[in-house]
Structure 1
């Protein structure tokens, strides 16, 4: 029997020779017309070779069996748990490694193994979810870059929770056209916290000042994102903001002063647990008694109520009519009108301070846009071709 002769010879052969012979035996197992007895003997020989002290021998089998459906499963499973250099071809593509096998290998926690599995073709949602939950940041990024992987939104959300602060992960996700707005906002929030930590670590700002600046920047970015959010996704974005503790009175007031009434109404519906139709009716009712009751049911802070009431009054007066820029930024006339209305009655000093900060921010943004327009107009004028003297004379003569 050929296998018996192979076993006698292999005991005394050098590692390189054993590896070549093992590769030939594995190929024969897959492609030669062996009898049932010879196949069983060959499989037994290869199982014995799993204990060969040279990784070259085991790697030779792994290379041959990596893409085959006909490989002996017991050999494939043993090689997949071998040292990484041996296991890699099987981890990359072996069809004999099922979801349970891959999940166990991921949970074993070896980063190179996790990385190899994350790049496999046609990864199932089960394996992708395990990578999102258990694997390293590098493996999760490889998963996101794997166009053949089946990744659910819940797995993407888990990757954001774990690694959204890392720039490569964040950039990959933000480049996706199908990423929900709630997850985009979660990435913005991660970025703001990362920047706050960076600034504090460098001692450029104190911890409280850095935290405030990051929160304000996140609110501004969130409102800009909300202005681009399709109507049917606004409710989901609001739910995310509430779950993450970001649906604050300050953010809602900023949104209303930016003219984003849809976000304001969805937030009140979420906080009050009333239907959006009832909330819309109270917000647009000239009688503010209904809005007052709605505000209380939403459990928003009492000290901020005068500003919200004044903002709704300003909206009914048409303060935003003719305003440009959509609902992505604070509107200067709106903020100044609310300050005037609030000044006519006793108001909390903290509320006034917030409104004044909004007024300064709105004025600076308005000035920046005005200057941008001036520069753009000047650039357009500079590109226009000047009339030649001959043309000018002809026009004058005419």
Structure 2
């Protein structure tokens, strides 16, 4: 049976009780005795913190209280014991696995927690507990490696903001590699004093324009050389995949155009088909599908795909309802099929925010040359 106790600070003993008195109270299970026991233990520890390990008797009393006490008392115990090097290890571990508001002071500060305890918390406890471990001051390299091994995005981001954590050079390399897929890692990593220039230049390949400026400013690197490295990397991917790309012939393009007409007639022409077509390396199907969905001509879409900036292509995609979060993936696939075009000049306009289809259509038409065929039809 759990006994609930409320902490009444007005009843704190004037003198620190003796261990025998506390032991007698521990055998009395009435609510009044429970409260007097808790207050007595706290008064004893405040008056004379134990030197080294706590006696087994007091250790048992603490653990008994923690198991029986209500939430507010467990929270008070956690705060009192957070910095105590004499706190019973069993009790500290019980509190560390309690709900996060109770566990947080222990996870943040307790000198009693060992690497083995923290590693167990990473496996057994909630996401909030794992984040608190990753933010723990002076976190060891062993625990940092475990955080990186697990690869949980929110926990990785917490580790990247921890300036006192021990992270090896290999650990930083793996964090940078994780930042390819975890955007929340990029900013903290670029501000971390442990990041070296080689890793920063590696990150330059996949971060946005604002972070590229931060890299250039912090490491005093040549943006033109880094941009060239990006293009070289893209070109390597293109050359590697070139043999797998179907040859674009007039016959193939006509076949894809007819397929688009059939899909439209059947009401099956959707933006998702364009993304699938790009992954299947069907360049002409993307061109004619995008043109048909947006009310553009194939020539206008091809012009956007030959541009030194992806802006016009983005507006065409936004006009037909392709989500801006999906656009970077589609852009990468199309560059593989189109010799690295559209290019990487200009700002990543898809990061500015959502755009209505009507606004995107107007922006696209303003950037591409009016097709003579459109003009003849208008007349």
Identify, as 1 or 2, the structure richer in helix. 1
TM-score by length of 2: 0.46
TM-score by length of 1: 0.44
